[in-house]
């Protein structure tokens, strides 16, 4: 093994980041660059895959140079990425045939409805652990084949390649030598049979996808080829890949069944490790590949809340009642728990466990005494209430954690984490390094490189910053949760009786 550093690439929805770690997983250097979001029509979201690639090249070179290193200083590269986003490119030129269709894009909603009406949902869910929803890659891929000039015949002639962002980056990094993904990303495509760990022939037929488009599916710590010398002056092996939420679970050392992590960024994503059992949810949560190592699959159950940090951005940018996100902490601390005002941030409908695409936001319970401070505090509280509902749904599926590991940009907010512990009634644990996602990708690469010898090593490298213990009375907790559910009932026809 050469080098003494690991490069982690985090290709996210709004920015690309590169972090350089030493072999004790301390951050040595980092760089971040935003790229354009493309909204061609209401409900459509696209990225220019060339712009993504340019941003990745730029942050990689900048972070490696800031670390005072070059290719020779690096033992391995790990990649984590926005999941489900779909790219199709020409195998000869490497050029995308269209913009990438982003995970948030809803253009295939009618097609998903039609498949559901035709009775396909249970079968698709049994094979993939997912739901028939535009969120996942398959219907986006079909849209490209059906709508981009010449795409389908060229795909059928074997001229094109499909990939989620990890696959596209691996292709580009290796100069077109490797067409591969990992099992965690594959499990988000709606084409991958999570029980057999193979592309599902019946699903390829259902969605009309030629098999020749698909990448090879590897473990999360595996040999994904070497980066071309043109990137860093010499080749570096790519040894770790995982989708962003699964990578966060790994960065949080969530290796035992029952361990649950929640990432609070723009949205909020919870994954509970379910070990070698693929637990099918009774509450419309998703079953997913948490990671696959040495051919052995570890499953997870996942739920998402669409609006978390973006509600704080709304306070800042739409309402203009705060100047910056961190200000919410001092406002809430001075205001104290708000009992009668509830903000329901259903700006884009409600996710798990409600799945009500038609719900819209509301502020409920305003009186003449309610002002800016109450609205700001109630917005933070809403993030905890949404987490509560998700964890109750998981508990009904048999997964009730005794502790929640949290990460992401919002967890800098101590007041939020204390309120979260109070509402969940369990301890909330914040690690010293809250960038769990890219840390997870780097750990996978380090594992394959032999820098870390086992998952236990990853656990040992993780350190806890602070544990928030619940201290609210049961009475107050119940009052608040009941008040929240009444507020949700005002905006949604979905059944709000959480089991
Ligand atoms: P993403 O990876 O989804 O871009 P991050 O993990 O970087 O998101 O988190 C950024 C989000 O966290 C933003 O929406 C921001 O409003 C919110 N945020 C950042 N700091 C705080 C804070 N101290 N209190 C509340 N929210 C915060």
Percent of the chain topping pLDDT 70: 98
Position 186 in a domain: yes
- 424-434: pLDDT as tens digits: 999 999 999 88
Cα 495 to ligand 1 centre (Å) = 30
Q: Which atom of ligand 1 is nearest to the CA of 312?
A: 16
Domain limits for position 240: 5-244
Cα 277 to ligand 1 centre (Å) = 33
pLDDT at 77: 98
Cα 456 to ligand 1 centre (Å) = 30
pLDDT tier at 154 (50, 70, 90 boundaries)? very high
Ligand 1 in contact with 164 (CB < 6 A)?
A: no
pLDDT at 283: 87
Ligand 1 in contact with 327 (CB < 6 A)?
A: no
**pLDDT of residue 222 exceeding 50:** yes
pLDDT at 498: 44
In angstroms, what CA-CA distances link 155 with 48, 139, 162, 175, 201?
A: 20, 15, 9, 21, 16
Cα 181 to ligand 1 centre (Å) = 29
Q: Which atom of ligand 1 is nearest to the CA of 266?
A: 3
* CA-nearest residue, atom 22 of ligand 1: 326
Position 80 in a domain: yes
**pLDDT of residue 499 exceeding 60:** no
CATH code of the domain containing 217:
3.30.420.40
**pLDDT of residue 421 exceeding 50:** yes
Position 475 in a domain: no
Contact 43, 106 (CB under 8 A): yes
Contact 39, 26 (CB under 8 A): no
Ligand 1 in contact with 310 (CB < 6 A)?
A: yes
**pLDDT of residue 355 exceeding 90:** no
The predicted model gives 271-295 an average pLDDT of: 94
Residue with structure tokens 């090593």? Answer: 457
**pLDDT of residue 12 exceeding 80:** yes
pLDDT at 494: 61
Position 72 in a domain: yes
Domain total for the chain? Answer: 1
The predicted model gives 56-63 an average pLDDT of: 97
Position 114 in a domain: yes
Ligand 1 in contact with 326 (CB < 6 A)?
A: yes
pLDDT at 284: 86
The predicted model gives 341-354 an average pLDDT of: 86
pLDDT at 125: 96
The predicted model gives 330-348 an average pLDDT of: 95
Position 479 in a domain: no
Ligand 1 in contact with 14 (CB < 6 A)?
A: yes
Ligand 1 in contact with 16 (CB < 6 A)?
A: no
pLDDT at 456: 84
pLDDT at 495: 54
Position 118 in a domain: yes
- 35-49: pLDDT as tens digits: 988 999 988 889 999
Position 296 in a domain: no
Ligand 1 in contact with 345 (CB < 6 A)?
A: no
């Amino acid at each position: 093994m050469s080098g003494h550093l690991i490069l982690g690439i985090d290709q996210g929805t709004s920015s690309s980041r590169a972090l350089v770690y030493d072999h004790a997983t301390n951050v040595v250097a980092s760089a971040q660059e935003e790229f354009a979001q493309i909204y061609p029509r209401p409900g459509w979201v696209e990225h220019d895959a060339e712009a993504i690639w340019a941003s990745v090249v730029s942050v990689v070179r900048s972070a490696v140079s800031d670390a005072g290193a070059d290719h020779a200083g690096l033992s391995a590269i790990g990649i984590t990425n926005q999941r489900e986003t779909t790219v199709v490119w020409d195998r000869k030129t490497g050029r995308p045939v269209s913009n990438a269709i982003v995970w948030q894009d809803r253009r295939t909603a009618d097609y998903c409805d039609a498949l559901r009406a035709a009775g396909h949902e249970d079968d698709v869910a049994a094979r993939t652990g997912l739901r028939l929803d535009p969120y996942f890659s398959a219907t986006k891929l079909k849209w490209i084949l059906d709508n981009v000039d010449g795409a389908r015949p060229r795909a059928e002639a074997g001229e094109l390649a499909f990939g989620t962002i990890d696959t596209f980056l691996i292709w580009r990094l290796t100069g077109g030598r490797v067409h591969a993904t990992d099992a965690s990303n594959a499990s988000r495509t709606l084409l991958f049979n999570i029980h057999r760990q193979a592309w599902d022939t019946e699903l390829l037929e259902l969605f009309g996808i030629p098999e020749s488009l698909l990448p090879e599916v590897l473990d999360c710590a595996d040999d994904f080829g070497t980066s071309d010398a043109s990137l860093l002056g010499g080749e570096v092996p790519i040894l770790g890949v995982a989708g962003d939420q699964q990578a966060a679970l790994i960065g949080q050392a969530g290796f035992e069944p029952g361990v649950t992590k929640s990432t609070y960024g723009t949205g909020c994503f919870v994954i509970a490790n379910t070990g070698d059992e693929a637990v099918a949810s009774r509450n419309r949560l998703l079953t997913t590949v948490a990671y696959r190592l040495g051919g052995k699959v570890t499953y997870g159950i996942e739920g998402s809340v669409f609006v978390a940090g973006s509600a704080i951005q709304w306070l800042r940018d739409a309402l203009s009642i705060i100047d910056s996100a961190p200000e919410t902490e001092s406002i809430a601390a001075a205001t104290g728990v708000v009992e009668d005002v509830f903000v329901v941030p259903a700006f884009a409908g409600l996710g798990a466990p409600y799945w009500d695409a038609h719900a819209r936001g509301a502020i409920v319970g305003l009186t003449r005494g309610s002002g800016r401070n109450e609205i700001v505090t109630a917005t933070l509280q809403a993030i905890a209430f949404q987490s509560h509902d998700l964890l109750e749904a998981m508990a009904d599926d048999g997964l009730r954690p005794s502790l929640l590991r949290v990460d992401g940009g919002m967890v800098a907010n101590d007041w939020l984490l204390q309120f979260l512990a109070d509402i969940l009634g369990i301890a909330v644990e914040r690690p010293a390094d809250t960038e769990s996602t890219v840390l997870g990708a780097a750990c996978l690469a380090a594992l394959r490189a032999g820098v870390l010898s086992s998952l236990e090593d990853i656990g040992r490298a993780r350190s806890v910053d602070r544990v928030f213990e619940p201290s609210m009375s049961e009475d107050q907790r119940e009052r608040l949760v009941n008040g929240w559910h009444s507020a949700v009932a005002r905006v949604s026809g979905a059944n709000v009786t959480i089991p």
